[in-house]
Structure formats: C-alpha cells, structure tokens
Structure 1
Amino acid sequence: MTESVPVRTFRAQVAAFLRRAEGGERIVVTVAGRPVAQLGPLDPGTGVPTIPDLAARGLVTPARRSDRPPPDVRLDPWPGTRLDRLVAEVRS
C-alpha cells in the first residue's frame, strides 16, 4: 500500500511514518503536491538474505543477546519443512 503525504505532515509525524515503513508500507512525500521522496521497507540485497535484512522487513526478531556461542548443529531444511517439527527434533 502506498500513501502520499505532504512534507509538513511527514515532518510532524516522522516516527509514525517510520513505523509504518518498517511494517512494509510505502510512503511518498510530496512538496506542493509533487512527489519528491519515497520511504519504505529495506529491500534485501542480492543473494541470501541475512538476519538483519529479515529483521528490517519485520519477518524475524533478532536475538537480544549477542554473547552466545554459535550453534553446534547446522540445519539445512528443504522447502516446506515445518520449523516446529525441526526444532522438536533438535531438542530431543
């Protein structure tokens, strides 16, 4: 969904528009009715998406702690794998 907003409205409510962009919405900022800028979610770069890419799109929540060691189990799930079953298998 895309919404056009005048620059004065954008300035007054910038935090709200940033939250909406984080949620996937695109906002077009206008000056005197003319579009001049667009605000929206980050597009992932080419290649495999990273955790920061996915977090920026609101698809995952990054870990709150960064001091934990990397996992000793590597999982390569195939398309259609149910993550709840995969986690249950690893935890058992």
Structure 2
Amino acid sequence: MDRIGIRQLRSEVAAQVRRASAGERIVITVDGRPVAQLGPLEPTDAKLTLEDLAARGQLLLARRSDRPPPEFSMPLWAGTRIDQLVREVRGR
C-alpha cells in the first residue's frame, strides 16, 4: 500500500484515481498521519453472509444461537390510551 500526502493527492487526483481503479490501495496522509484510503470499489453484487461481515469486524455474532426469539404479544383494546399501554408494559 502506497502512502501519499494530501497536497500530492490534490495535484495528482486523476492519476491516483486511475491507480485505485486498477486495484491499488493508496493511504492518504495529513501531516504524516494516515487519515483515509483510496482504492477500488468492492463488488456490489456479492452477497455477504453474517460470517463474512463478522470476519471483517463489521458486526458481532450472537454468543448463543440456541434460544428462540422472544414472543411478545399484548391484546389492545379500542379506546385505550398509548401512555396507559406503555405503563402496563413497563409494569408501572
């Protein structure tokens, strides 16, 4: 991965974008600190699984998968105010 400063990027934008479209990844620095990355787009038609996203660090998988999802149902009566229902759900 190549590093370039923001000033150099400003003067060579077209050339750097061509490099990125060719598959290179370029780290952009400001005052010597990396702040951004220029690179090729990820394929949009690829279907990522939860495991793929977890491997990238973009989500955390559930620790336990053997529990069924909780069931929640509450009968609603016509004419009941929402604040009363909320109090009932919260147990107040």
TM norm structure 2: 0.48
TM norm structure 1: 0.48
